[in-house]
Amino acid sequence: MSNLTAVIVGATGGIGQAIANTLGKKGINLVLSGRNEGMLKEMQAKLAKSYPSIKLNCLCCDISKPESRQHFIQALALMNTPINYYINNAGINDFALFSDQQDAMIERMMMVNVAYPLELIQQVIPLMSAVNPSQIINIGSTFGSIGYPGYVSYCASKFALRGATEALAREYCTTAIKFRYFSPRATSTAMNSPAVIQMNQQLGVQMDSPELVAEELYNFLQRDQQSYQVGYPEKIFVKVNQLLPHVVSGSIEKNISTIQHYAKSCNET
C-alpha cells in the first residue's frame, strides 16, 4: 500500500472525480473534499470498492464559507498525515458577454476561483510533507494564459491563479514544497452549458474527456516543470500568445461573431 496521500478539493466535479479515480488506481491514499456530502460519500463507497487497498477520507467543505474552510483545515490537521499532493480543483465558470454579466457573478468568480483557494493554501502549507513529493497543484485553464471573449471574468480569475502559483513557486523555492499549475483545455464536464458545447463544435474546438485530463495530471505529477498545458494546438497558442499576441488575436477575431452569438444566447435562456 502506498504511503502517499492526495487531498482533492473540488473532488465531486467531473475532473475531480476522474482525478480521484486515477490516483486511487495508482494506489495513492485520498482525502476527498467538496460541498455535497452525499456525493462525497457515494464517491467514497465506489472508490473503496474499486481500490480496497487505499485509505479514503471525505471532508465536506464549502470554500465560500469561512467557518467551513476553518473546519476543513482543522480536520486535515487532526488526521496527522503529511500531505504529498494538495490538488485545488475548486472553481466556477460563467460564459457570457462582459456587458451582460452581473456584478455579483464577477465578484463570486474572483473569490471562488482565486481568493478562497489561496486562503486555504496558506493554511495547508504547514500540513504538507516535509520531503518529496510535496506538491500544491492549482488546476487552471488555457484561459489562464489566453484572454478569450465571453470569458472575461473567468480569464481574470485563472490569470490571477496562474500568477499566484508562479509567485509561490519562487517564494518557496528553498523548501520541499513545489507549487505547480496544471492547465486543461476545453473538457467535457457539466461546467459547460449546451451553448458552449455547440460553439466548440462549430469552431472545431477539441474537448477532452475528464479521464484523459486526469491521466495527464498524473503524468505531470511525476515530472519537474512548474506548469503544464494540455493538448495541441493549445500548447502552441499559449506560447504564441506570449510572444506574438496579435497573431492569436487575429485568429480569435475571425470567430468573434460566432462567439458573440452563443454568449448572447446564454444570457437569453
pLDDT tens for 122-156 read 999 999 999 999 999 999 999 999 999 999 999 99
Angle subtended at Cα 6 by Cα 5 and Cα 11, rounded to the nearest 5 degrees? 145
pTM of the complete model: 0.96
46 membership: H or E segment, kind and range:
helix 37-50
Angle subtended at Cα 191 by Cα 145 and Cα 268, rounded to the nearest 5 degrees? 100
Question: Residue 137's closest CA among 109, 159, 168?
Answer: 168
Do residues 181 and 167 make contact, with C-beta atoms less than 8 angstroms apart? Answer: no
Q: Could you tell me the CATH number of the domain that includes residue 257?
A: 3.40.50.720
Query: pLDDT at position 190, please?
Result: 86
CA distance 59 to 43: 12
Full domain range(s) for residue 85: 5-268
Query: pLDDT at position 240, please?
Result: 98
Do residues 57 and 8 make contact, with C-beta atoms less than 8 angstroms apart? Answer: no
88 membership: H or E segment, kind and range:
strand 85-88
Query: Per DSSP, what are the bridge partners of residue 59?
Result: 33
Cβ neighbours around 30 below 10 Å, total = 27
Domain count, the chain: 1
Do residues 56 and 32 make contact, with C-beta atoms less than 8 angstroms apart? Answer: yes
Q: Which residue has the cell 489561496?
A: 118
Do residues 14 and 64 make contact, with C-beta atoms less than 8 angstroms apart? Answer: no
Query: pLDDT at position 1, please?
Result: 52
Tell me the one-letter amino acid at 2.
S
If you write DSSP's letter for every residue of 182-235 in order, what string do you get?
A: EE--SB-STTS-HHHHHHHHHHT---B-HHHHHHHHHHHHTS--SEEE-STTHH
Low-confidence ranges of the chain (pLDDT < 70): 1-2, 267-269
Query: pLDDT at position 191, please?
Result: 86
CA distance 186 to 27: 28
Residues 6+ apart with CB under 8 A from 233: none
CA distance 182 to 227: 6
